[in-house]
């Protein structure tokens, strides 16, 4: 592939960069993206008015969901322009709006949902009026998602749902959930599953937060006790929900902006070390150079996926290569940043200690990076996909 922009792409990139510089509210500059580093970079709650203004400006361009058709409020940008937009947003450290609703739910409804679902849900997703969470994983069904055991039994115009979900990000603030439940236990595990839209205010749903090692409670356990879900809320056909869920998961595979953020993190750590005279900078200089190279490798792997999408080819094991490599690079980055910072790298407070560096982001980055090779499909699962689908090896 050609790693240089075409003249048209270069013009689009310059236009995006200029528009961001002109329109990004000052209160949000340098505040980062959706990851731990970005969310916590300011050390305080983001200015809600500034965020609302930024969202409004992006939405006016169709750039909150640039891949969507204009009829749904998107810009329907070509793949390469989507890639450029994500890169420039990450380079500017500008907040992005995504999550389960924009990234997974709406595209799935566009493909499989009934017309009333698209009319009812897509606009509130785009505007941020309603938030979504994903009810897929269970205590006994994580990487082996087809082993889901949460039951949904038809009862008149409803399905009655009983079971448990876990690692449900944002369930405590979500208005709706996409739920994968077993509607026919006699079928093989990849069949007999159905896909539902569930109102989180429904009677019988209860939550239990899961506190992670960084002290945050973004994850939740969700319990269903005789929860009645209207049959009309099923997406696709009964017992064919696995195929709908597989489509939803395909939308999770875009990591094109992550490498830009990785490089920004490294550069910020290096600048901080120079400013504070940290001895760890000299001791780890070769590892930092290696990481800068690794970040560029990750970007090239990501660009390969984007180029395949631009040609109309569906990435499969290629996306798993990106996920596997980038998540392990993130962990190596966190470890090196921690060593560069020395003892101060253990301080997680935000503006409360004279010993902290970068508002405690280095320590929190180290803690959060542990999950990088687990969330979104473990490294073991990614290696299996690469082995079977990429190398043609037999399943073990």
Question: How far is it, in rounded angstroms, from Cα 245 to Cα 394?
Answer: 25
Residue with tokens 């790298």: 345
Identified catalytic residue from 123, 130, 238, 252: 252
Do the beta carbons of residue 87 and residue 260 sit within 8 Å?
Answer: yes
- Torsion-angle region of residue 142: left (phi > 0), alpha (psi -120 to 50) or beta? alpha
Strands (E), 88-150: 132-135
- Known catalytic residue: 36? no
If one counts every other C-beta atom within 10 angstroms of the C-beta of residue 43, the result is 14
Helix (H), strand (E), coil (C) string for 278-333: CHHHHHCHHHHHHHHHHHHHHHHHHHHHHHHHHCCCCCCHHHHHHHHHHHHHHHHH
Question: How far is it, in rounded angstroms, from Cα 12 to Cα 230?
Answer: 45
CA dist 387 to 142, 177, 252, 316, Å?
A: 20, 33, 20, 12
- Taking every pair of Cα atoms in the chain, the longest distance, rounded to a whole number of angstroms, is 70
Distance of CA 32 to the CA centre of its chain: 14
The helix or strand, by DSSP H or E, that contains position 163, with its residue range, turns out to be strand 158-165
Radius of gyration of the chain, Cα coordinates, nearest whole angstrom: 22
Active site residues: 252
């Amino acid at each position: 592939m050609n790693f240089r922009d075409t003249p048209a792409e270069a013009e689009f990139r310059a236009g995006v960069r200029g528009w961001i510089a002109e329109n990004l509210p000052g209160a949000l500059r340098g505040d980062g993206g959706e990851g731990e580093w970005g969310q916590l970079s300011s050390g305080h709650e983001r200015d809600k008015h500034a965020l609302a203004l930024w969202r409004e400006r992006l939405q006016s361009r169709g750039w909150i969901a640039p891949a969507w058709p204009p009829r749904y409020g998107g810009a329907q940008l070509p793949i390469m322009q989507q890639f450029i937009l994500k890169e420039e947003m990450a380079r500017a450290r500008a907040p992005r709006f995504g999550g389960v609703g924009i990234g997974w739910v709406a595209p799935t409804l566009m493909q499989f949902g009934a017309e009333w679902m698209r009319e009812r849900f897509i606009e509130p997703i785009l505007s941020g009026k309603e938030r979504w969470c994903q009810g897929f994983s269970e205590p006994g069904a994580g990487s082996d998602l087809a082993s889901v055991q949460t039951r949904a039994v038809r009862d008149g115009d409803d399905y009655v749902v009983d079971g448990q979900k876990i690692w449900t990000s944002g369930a405590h603030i979500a208005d709706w959930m996409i739920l994968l439940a077993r509607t026919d236990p006699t079928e093989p595990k990849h069949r007999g599953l159905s896909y539902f839209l569930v109102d989180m205010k429904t009677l019988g749903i209860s939550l239990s937060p899961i506190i992670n090692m960084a002290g945050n409670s973004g994850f939740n356990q969700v319990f269903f006790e005789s929860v009645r879900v209207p049959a009309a809320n099923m997406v696709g056909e009964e017992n064919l929900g696995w195929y709908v869920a597989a489509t939803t998961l395909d939308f999770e595979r875009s990591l094109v902006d992550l490498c830009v953020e990785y490089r920004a993190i490294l550069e910020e750590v290096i600048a901080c070390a120079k400013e504070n005279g940290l001895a760890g900078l000299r001791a780890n200089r070769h590892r930092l150079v290696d990481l800068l190279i690794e970040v560029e490798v990750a970007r090239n792997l990501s660009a390969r996926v984007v180029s395949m999408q631009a040609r109309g080819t569906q990435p499969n094991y290629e996306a798993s290569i990106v996920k596997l490599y980038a998540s392990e690079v993130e962990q190596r980055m966190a470890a090196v940043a921690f060593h560069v910072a020395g003892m101060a790298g253990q301080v997680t407070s935000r503006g409360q200690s004279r010993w902290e560096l970068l508002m405690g982001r280095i320590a929190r980055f180290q803690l959060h990076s542990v999950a990088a090779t687990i969330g979104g499909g473990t490294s073991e699962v990614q290696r299996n996909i690469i082995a079977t689908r990429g190398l043609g090896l037999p399943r073990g």
